[in-house]
Chains A and B, each alone.
Chain A
Amino acid sequence: MQHGKYRFIVGFLAVPLGLYVLFVIWPFIQSIYYSFTDWTGLSPEFKMVGFDNYSRMLDDDVFWKSLWHSLLFALVLPLVTIGFALFLAFMINVGGRRRRGGPVVSGVRGSSFYKIVYFFPQVLSIAIVALLFAFAYNPDSGAINSAFKAIGLDSVQPLWLGDPDLALWCVMAVLVWSTVGFFVVLFSAGMASIPAELYEAALLDGANRVNTFFRLTLPLLWDTVQSGWVYMGILALGAESFAVVQIMTTGPGGPDYSTTVMVLYVYQKAFRDGQAAYATTIGVALLVVTLAFAAIVMRLGRRERLEF
């Protein structure tokens, strides 16, 4: 029977695996292959050039800048977004004051309203969000500087996206704003599955909110947080960061390369400069970074599983 069992399993796996190989593995192999050529992307002719693209990449200041910015995205964005989302989810679900006759744990007043409001940005496409914020950051008549003016801060009129020291943070803030709602909902769902008796016991022991959060909620939510971290890293390294940088920033990628990220650089090299082979080389570097990120997150996040 063993034999038949495997055939059965293989029968189910063949189609998805085939698709996976065709659309994931094969493009990878092709990309790696092209990174050793001088393919322009605009004509079918190319020749092998060995490691030329790689040595060029290592000497390329813009590549290193984009790598640094991508790493910053991958570290800071998950940290801020998830931290913030955990705080909000905790306040919505657990952080409320105890009310006489009410349930043991409850959120702050109006929490169901907040839950919906926080999720709103998730409904908007990232391109629309980026455009909206590009308007808000307009130093001449945008919402933010206008608000500053309205409250009398006429002298505080930052250039936002026009300032190399601020631009990257402005872009990150947009990503935080647009994704935090999703994690609030995700963590809320996780928190809802934590039994109320545990909170009751903690309260009886005299634990305050901070203790409850760090000793009880966070450990029981750890797996969700970990998945969230990986998901956020994907956003930060991939399509989402490309969209906001491409749509919002000076240049795009500026001012003075202060917001160039790896995906943007891949795009520019392939489709602006007609250097598709070099673009695939940066793509390979991006692949390495992404895999390393996933490995590190899994490694650091490994903990003993709690059963409850």
Chain B
Amino acid sequence: MGSTSAHNGRESVGRRDLILRSAALGLVSVPAVGFLSACASSGGDSEDKAESGKKTKANPLGVNDTAQMEFVLFDGGFGKEYAEDAVKVYEQKFPKASVKFSATQKIQTTLQPRFNQGTPPDLIDNSGAEQMDMGVLVGKKQLADLTPLLDAPSYDDPAKKVRDTLRPGIVEMGQFDGDPVWIMYYAYTVYGVWYSQKALDSLDEQYPETWDQMLAVCEKAKKKGMAGWTYAGKYPYYLPFSLFPMIGKVGGREVLDAIDNLEPNAWKHPAVKACFEAYYELYKKGYILRGTPGLDHIQSQTAWAKGKALFIPNGSWVENESANVIPADFDLAVSGPTGLDSSDKLPFGAIWASGGEPFIVPAKAKNPSGGMEQLRIMLSEASSKNFTSKVKSLTAFNGGTDGIELTPGLKSGVAALDKAGDNVLNPRLQDWYVQLNKEQVGVSGLGEMMAGRLTPAEAIKKIQGFADTAAKDSSIKHYKHQ
């Protein structure tokens, strides 16, 4: 004998099932709701800070040489070797101090509960997909001001302050509002248009400086069966890597500042419109690799490395990230964005470069001066060189490339920075307003426009709307350029 019911209860099974099963359903939605409370705030205060040591010439930050120093690193594209090497220097300097070093990809999972309990480590590389929101950390006063570090004498030359050994834009990037510097960006990223010099040579072309030349190069490439451009279609917030500096080049720094400041009608500036239209023309004329809006960053970089497209907007990490698909004779190069014409405000060569790998010292750290001393060591020329030669990226330390062999992309990046001189742009949207930058400007605005589903005018109107909403949203912390 069987029954259509799994249960053999006598009556009202339906109702009991209902309760049981709703409960089962509830169980499933718990991860959605309950996990938030798992990191609920309940920790006690820990005011047992390490006593500070004596400030000497060799120890300008007054590190307690017996206190423990804890350092949590994001174990991402740059690996952990460079930090381990720097930790060894710290240990040599303070042999009595114990250093607790760990590397993880799960920064948020590991550290969010510790922030909530008030027991964070002394130095954190807050990077990667699980980056904790800097704006919130600053707004909630969870970070220590790094000004003592910046004003301390540099590791190599006691006559020079740390602040004077850094690349342009690094200190400002660490500020949010006012003077305190909350973040020390250690890596230095060059954003722009990346291409194969070999492919350009085969077309008998130079990198185009005006948009008319750009269109001509794309047309020539198209005739040879090669698309002009591709980009990370599924993450269209890669487009700004070349589009934002183009806007800055065409309309001047203030246009980008107004955008970052969420000023009314910032996006309606003629320079923005002209640049949007220029990019839209790439779509209209069929210079974008077919299928690009459905490609992710890896797929688009692979298509580009295979020679299916000439140009791609990207950052200097692309050399490392796509190393296994970039052919040996590719001759990777980067350039500042192509402008419109000779009436642009900034000369050709203006480029977006800024810090990456944000290091922070928590306000509630037990040994904050230890964390800062570790950073000071990392900003020495030797550590910087070690980083550059190991992970093919520049550091915030200005210099540190002499005497080591640079890869083609890195060499081209250094050359591009030289060419840019003072015209280094640093749009802040991506670190100030993550949601606005990624999901709204990137995916819903630029992504839709470059896929041909919005006209430039519609895209600008939509993006301006998002920016206005963000400006009014009281749950977002707002920032201004100084």
Contacts and interface: CB of A to CB of B under 8 A. Distances in A.
B140 A40 contact: yes
A238 B24 CA distance: 12
B36 A193 contact: no
| Residue of A157, A222, A278, A283 contacting most chain B CB atoms (<10 Å) | A283
| Residue of A159, A268, A308 contacting most chain B CB atoms (<10 Å) | A159
Interface string B110-125: 0010011110000000
A120 interface: no
Contacts of A251: 234-235, 438-439, 442-443
Contact of B26 (A138, A140, A161, A287): A287
B61 to A, nearest CB: 25
A93 to B, nearest CB: 16
A237 B29 contact: yes
A222 B4 contact: yes
Interface stretch (A41-49, A76-84, A98-106, A208-216): A41-49
B58 interface: no
B21 A159 contact: no
A281 to B, nearest CB: 10
Interface string B261-300: 0000000000000000000000000000111111110010
B22 A294 contact: yes
A281 B235 CA distance: 28
A50 interface: no
Contacts of B37: 27, 30-31, 34, 280
A92 interface: no
Given A30-B34, A137-B294, A306-B4, A291 B22 contact: yes
B453 A164 contact: yes
B29 A283 contact: yes
Interface stretch (A6-14, A171-179, A269-277): A269-277
Interface string A214-252: 000001111110010010011001110000000001110
* A interface: dominant SS: helix
Contacts of A24: 23, 26-27, 30, 34
A271 B108 contact: yes
A28 B38 CA distance: 11
A71 to B, nearest CB: 15
B444 A256 contact: yes
| Residue of A44, A157, A268, A279 contacting most chain B CB atoms (<10 Å) | A44
Given A290-B29, A305-B5, A44 B117 contact: yes
B5 to A, nearest CB: 5
Size category, B interface: 35 or more
Given A294-B18, A298-B21, A307 B28 contact: no
Contact of B36 (A145, A280, A287): A280
Given A56-B475, A141-B303, A28 B438 contact: no
B443 A30 contact: no
Interface string A281-308: 0011011001101110010001001111
A199 interface: no
Nearest to B131: A272
Nearest to A159: B294
B283 to A, nearest CB: 13
A41 B453 contact: no
B216 interface: no
A249 B36 contact: no
Nearest to B303: A140
B32 A238 contact: yes
Interface stretch (B39-47, B171-179, B382-390): B39-47
A254 interface: yes
Contact of A302 (B14, B35, B141, B453): B14
B324 to A, nearest CB: 16
Given A140-B308, A162-B234, A272 B294 contact: no
Contact of A270 (B36, B142, B475): B36
B64 to A, nearest CB: 26
A263 interface: yes
B26 A273 contact: no
A63 interface: no
A161 B23 CA distance: 35
A141 B306 CA distance: 12
| Residue of B37, B42, B142 contacting most chain A CB atoms (<10 Å) | B37
Contacts of A283: 29, 32-33, 36
B26 A239 contact: no
A257 interface: yes
A271 B21 contact: no
A274 B136 contact: yes
| Residue of B25, B28, B233, B447 contacting most chain A CB atoms (<10 Å) | B25
B25 A290 contact: yes
B461 to A, nearest CB: 14
B402 to A, nearest CB: 40
B294 A160 contact: yes
A181 interface: no
Contacts of A195: 2
A227 B308 CA distance: 50
Contacts of B43: 44
A46 B17 contact: no
A253 interface: yes
Contact of A255 (B1, B295, B447): B447
Contacts of A307: 1-4
A39 interface: yes
A273 B435 contact: yes
A134 interface: yes
Contacts of A287: 26, 29, 32-33
Given A160-B294, A161-B234, 13 more contacts: A27-B30, A31-B37, A134-B296, A221-B4, A222-B4, A223-B5, A234-B24, A234-B28, A237-B29, A273-B476, A278-B475, A283-B33, A286-B32
7 A-B pairs with the lowest CB-CB distances in the bound complex, closest first: A27-B34, A139-B291, A162-B294, A162-B293, A274-B136, A274-B133, A283-B33
30 contacts: A24-B26, A24-B30, A31-B34, A43-B115, A138-B291, A139-B294, A140-B290, A140-B291, A159-B233, A161-B234, A161-B294, A162-B295, A219-B4, A223-B4, A233-B25, A237-B28, A238-B32, A251-B439, A254-B234, A254-B443, A254-B444, A254-B447, A255-B451, A256-B453, A263-B32, A271-B108, A284-B33, A287-B26, A290-B25, A305-B3
